[in-house]
Structure formats: C-alpha cells, structure tokens
Amino acid sequence: MMFPVKMFPIRTCTTVGQYFTLVRSFTVGATRLAKKAEQLEAEELAGAAAEDLPVTFVDDDAESSEAREARITAIRNKSRLLPQHRNMLHDVLPYDQSQSWIHETVKYKRMMLGRYGIDGSKVDPRVCFPTKKEAFEKSEYERVAYPFTLKQMMDENEANRKARKAAIESREADIARKFEKLDQWTADLNARIEKKEAEARAAKERKDRLVEEVRRHFGFKVDPRDERFQEMLAQKEREDRKKVKEAKRKEKEEKMMEKLQKKTAQLEADIEVTSEKSKK
C-alpha cells in the first residue's frame, strides 16, 4: 500500500544549485513515506494473523499432570500476592531456598522449625540444641552471674524477709509508744508556749513599768527618743536586772537549803534506824 505523494508546483529557480537542493528534499520525503507505509502494512498483517488463532491452545496429551496442575493453580491464583506471602497465608514455608543471609542464621531456622515443623520447614532439628562451646559459655555465665545455690538463695531470702518483718514490727512498736506519750508531749508543748507567752508579757509589763518610772523621775512628759530618757531607762533596766538576778539567787539558795534539810532529815532517820537495829 502506497500513499500518494502530492506534488507541489515548483517555482522557477534562478540558479541551478537551488533547483538541485529542492529536488533532493522531495526525494528524501518520498523515501520516508514509503518506509512508513511498509511498516503499517506489516502490522496489519500480524494483527489479522493473531485474530485468526484461538485464545489458548494446549496439547493435553503432551502436557504432564504435574504441569497441568501447576498451570491450573497459577490461573486460579487471583490474590495478586507475592509467592512468599501466599505461602505464609496458607501456612507453608515462605521460601524453598535461602534468599538472604538471615535465612541461614540459627535463629531463623529455629523459628521456621517451631512454626512449620520438621517436614514443613526442611530444617535439621539438631540446630535447636546448643553446641559444646555454647553449653560451656552458658555454664560459665551462670557460674559467674549466679554463684549461690538455690538453697543458699532461699535461705538468704528468708533471712531478708525476717529482717524486714522485724524492722516493721520495731517501727510499729515505736510508733505505739510515741502515741502513748502524745498527750503528755502536747501538754508539755502547750506549757512551754504558755511559759514563753507569760515571759513575753512580763517583759512587756516590765518595760512599761520602767518607762513609767522614768517619766515619774523627771516629773514631766519626756520624748522616749530623748538621750536623757534613754540613759535613765538603761539605768533602770540595769537595776531591774540586778533585782531579778538577786531574786533568782535567793530562790536558788532556798531550794538548795530545802534539799539539804531533806537530806539531813533522811540521814538522821537512817542513823536512828541503824542505831535501833544495833541495840537489838
């Protein structure tokens, strides 16, 4: 099949060179169109031949039963899963042969053996048992990490449990004793607080009394910030401290005398008892 080539009118060229150039360009274009037409004819013939053939043609006599089953299985597989994923879905070993270095590790083989069994995993069950080197290293690790026997660890655990129990009981007893003294401690605390408050009130009253005495000394109102007032107040405070100190000394002497009298009376009573026993 040839496509007609439309010839355009050629204008008169002024020179021979231009004429030959125009003729060469038309010749190249016609050659390309001819090759394209031949290619289209070949494609049309191939399509017509393919339409005449049946969709599938299988010689059942020449095909073996295993190949036929494999072909039917491949046709029946509509899941579009990868072969390894489809095997995992049907609980079958994913790969018939190793695809990576991981598939050659002991850990992977043990996992496949545990999941698919001896027949399904195609793994030697001896990989599940440690080698002599692994057994020796494990025993050495246990010897260093756990140096005590089971009986020793149980005894130590029992001793620690008893010690914790004794500590808890001691703590509870101490808390109970402190609870018994709680009322007394509360009373003592309140007494100390009252004593501090009484001392603070007495100090304030003493301060007010001294200030009043200083004012009476001058006989007229004086500013407490005045130097004469401050000097007289300091003098009154010194005198008052001497009086308080003297009173405390006398109170202490009276207490000492009372204690001596009690001891003397006790000694006299003991001497009388001893003399009566010696007379008898």
Q: Is the predicted pLDDT of residue 247 greater than 50, yes or no?
A: yes
pTM greater than 0.75 (yes/no): no
Compute the distance between CA of residue 207 and CA of residue 73 in angstroms, rounded to an integer. 115
Is the separation of the CB atoms in 1 and 41 below 8 Å? yes
Q: 31-38 contacts: CB < 8 A, separation 24 or more?
A: 33/3, 33/5, 34/2, 36/3, 37/1, 37/2, 37/3
- When mean pLDDT is compared over 45-49, 52-56, 271-275, the highest value belongs to 271-275
pLDDT at residue 170 in the model: 95
Using the structure block, give the residue that is written with the tokens 């049309």. 44
Backbone torsion region of residue 107, taken as left when φ is above 0, otherwise alpha when ψ lies between -120 and 50, otherwise beta: alpha
Q: End-to-end CA distance of the chain, in Å?
A: 170
**Confidence grade of residue 22 (pLDDT, cut at 50, 70, 90):** low
**Confidence grade of residue 272 (pLDDT, cut at 50, 70, 90):** confident
Compute the distance between CA of residue 29 and CA of residue 74 in angstroms, rounded to an integer. 51
Compute the distance between CA of residue 33 and CA of residue 142 in angstroms, rounded to an integer. 88
List all residues 6 or more positions away from 241 whose beta carbon is below 8 Å from its beta carbon.
none
- Give the chain's mean pLDDT: 79
Task: Please report the DSSP string for 51-119 in residue order.
Answer: HHS-S----TTTS-HHHHHHHHHHHH--S---HHHHHHHTT--S-SS--SGGGGSHHHHHHHHHHHHHH
Residue 10: DSSP 8-state? P
Q: Is the predicted pLDDT of residue 243 greater than 70, yes or no?
A: yes
Q: Is the predicted pLDDT of residue 146 greater than 60, yes or no?
A: yes
Compute the distance between CA of residue 79 and CA of residue 19 in angstroms, rounded to an integer. 68
Residue 170 CA: distances (Å) to CA of 157, 163, 201, 272: 20, 10, 44, 50
Is the separation of the CB atoms in 90 and 115 below 8 Å? no
Using the structure block, give the residue that is written with the tokens 């808390």. 175
pLDDT at residue 155 in the model: 94
Backbone torsion region of residue 219, taken as left when φ is above 0, otherwise alpha when ψ lies between -120 and 50, otherwise beta: left
- Structure-model confidence comparison of residues 280 and 206, the more confident one: 206
Is the separation of the CB atoms in 224 and 211 below 8 Å? yes
**Confidence grade of residue 50 (pLDDT, cut at 50, 70, 90):** very low
Compute the distance between CA of residue 72 and CA of residue 75 in angstroms, rounded to an integer. 5
Using a pLDDT cut of 70, give the percent of the chain over it: 78
**Confidence grade of residue 111 (pLDDT, cut at 50, 70, 90):** very high
